[in-house]
Amino acid sequence: MILDLKDDLKAFREAVRAWVHETAPPERAHEWHIPKGPELVDIQRWWLAERHKVGLAIPNWPVDYGGAGLGLEHMIIITDEFARARSPGNDMFVISMNHVPGTLIPHGSEAQKKRYLPGVPAGELWCQGFSEPGAGSDLASLKTRAVRDGDHYVINGQKIWSTNSMYASQCLLLVRTDPTVKKHAGISYLIMDMNSPGVEVRPIRKSNGASNFGEIFMTDVRIPVENLIGAENNGWAVSQSTLSSERGVLSFDGAERDMMFLTDIYKQARSDKAAWLDDPEMRREFITMFAEMQASRQQLRALLQEPHDGGFSMTPSLVKMARTTLNNRIGAFRSRAEGVTSQYHDHTYRAPMYEFLETFGSVISGGSNEIQRNLIAERGLVMPRG
């Protein structure tokens, strides 16, 4: 068993490496790199199940909730080895794996933890109903209304930018339970079954034609009161736990994969004798981005080592800005490097123009970079509010 080796980090790493190469051989990477949508959900669900067999689905979760209680150094090894092996990704289950335990473990009832946590490694797909058309950066101004009716809440409203909501069976939902008080004080946090009557999901088509998030329309949806997480009207505080579970580890996996990918692109360019390699300015631009990508991996490691003492840290905001703007630059660089043929429709994995358009989403999601700048300036540099 791989987990039995956890006290010997070197042996642990080798065991993870051997297992991933055997279970998801890099030669088969096209099988999980090309598909999108429901097909990708199936592949990632298979991959989750394979990992679960050997204890690598939720190894960082507490033992009480089915995990192995592994710490950071193990998670970094696992993430690193998975990325290096170009293994299937995890992005369809990102809310399930991170936000669900991040919210339920500190704030959920015992019944909720028992009911929902085991579903995660079994492949239950969750989405998050936070943003609304009128509540983006100003999330607390959300208007989706929940009115108590006996032992249910009745929900009416609309959510947007809900990642993978079209494939989800459960939703972490923020609603307004008291419209008469200050905006942060009247919010509650519910678990919504996506198969409830009155729930309708419409995928949003992005500029690159792909759809990885949707709008959720809720019309008289009835949610049992027992699905309330934390106290009524205390949802804002609970939501901060959900959002802080985005910190670090999530981004770490992305950064590891992005570094591998950038290295792969360069190797490919060398073997193709790509024209841009003859252009000194393009080479310098590439190596500058290569260096910054490595810098962001170092920053993430520093972030993961920061104490979670409740104090404000600028690092999550700085890493988020650095990574998302760098990926946008890399997308732009690749389109320019390839020239006009980058504008022909290309269905290969992370094709330059597809990827370039894709990178705009991350600049906004998870707190737009403008919001991150406000946080850095006001909380980090203590520049006063106007």
Partner 1 sequence: MSAGPEMTLDKAELAALRDSIADVLKSECDSRKVHVWLDRENDLGPAIWRQAVELGWLGLSLPEVDGGLGLGARGLQILSCELGRYAAPGGFIPTLCVAQWLASVADGEQRATLLGPVLSGEAAFAVPVLLEGGGTVVLSESGNTVSGMIDVLDCAAGSVPNVYAVVPLSGAWAVVRVDGAVAKAEAIEAWDMTRDISRLECSSAPIIARIADADGRAGTLLGTYLALALAADSVGGADGIARKTVEYLKERVQFDRVVATFQALKHRAADLIGHITTQEALVEQAVQCIDNGSPDAAMWARLAKAGASDAFVFVATDCILLHGGVGHTWEYDPQIYIKRARLNEGLLCNNRALRDTSVRLLDEALDQGRTTTEIDW
Residues near partner 1, by CB under 8 A: 73, 76-77, 259, 263, 266-267, 270, 280, 283-284, 286-288, 290-292, 294-299, 301-302, 305, 314-315, 317-318, 321-322, 370, 372-374, 376-378, 380-386
Burial of 98 (0-12, 13-18, 19+ CB in 10 A): buried
Instruction: Find all residues with CB under 8 Å of 217, minimum gap 6, and list them.
Output: 158, 199, 200, 201, 202
- Between 290 and 349, name the residue whose CB sits nearer to partner 1: 290
Indicate if the alpha-carbon torsion angle 123, 125, 126, 127 is positive or negative: positive
Q: How far apart are CA 124 and CA 72, in angstroms?
A: 25
Cβ pair 237, 228 in contact under 8 A: no
Calculate the alpha carbon distances from 72 to 69, 86, 275 in Å: 10, 21, 42
3-state secondary structure of 8: coil
The beta-strand segments (E) located in the chain are 126-129, 145-149, 152-163, 170-176, 187-193, 199-203, 213-224
Candidates 148, 162, 256, 171; CA nearest to 203 is: 162
Q: How far apart are CA 72 and CA 305, in angstroms?
A: 8
Q: How far apart are CA 213 and CA 204, in angstroms?
A: 6
Residue 283 parent element (H or E): helix 280-305
Q: How far apart are CA 29 and CA 373, in angstroms?
A: 37
Q: How far is the CB of 286 from partner 1 (least distance, A)?
A: 7
Q: Is 232 left (phi over 0), alpha (psi -120 to 50) or beta?
A: beta
What angle (nearest 5°) sits at the alpha carbon of residue 101, between those of residues 99 and 106?
110
DSSP-derived secondary structure for 242-262 = HHHTTTTHHHHHHHHHHHHHH
DSSP-derived secondary structure for 85-117 = TT----GGGHIIIIIHHHHHHHHS-HHHHHHHG
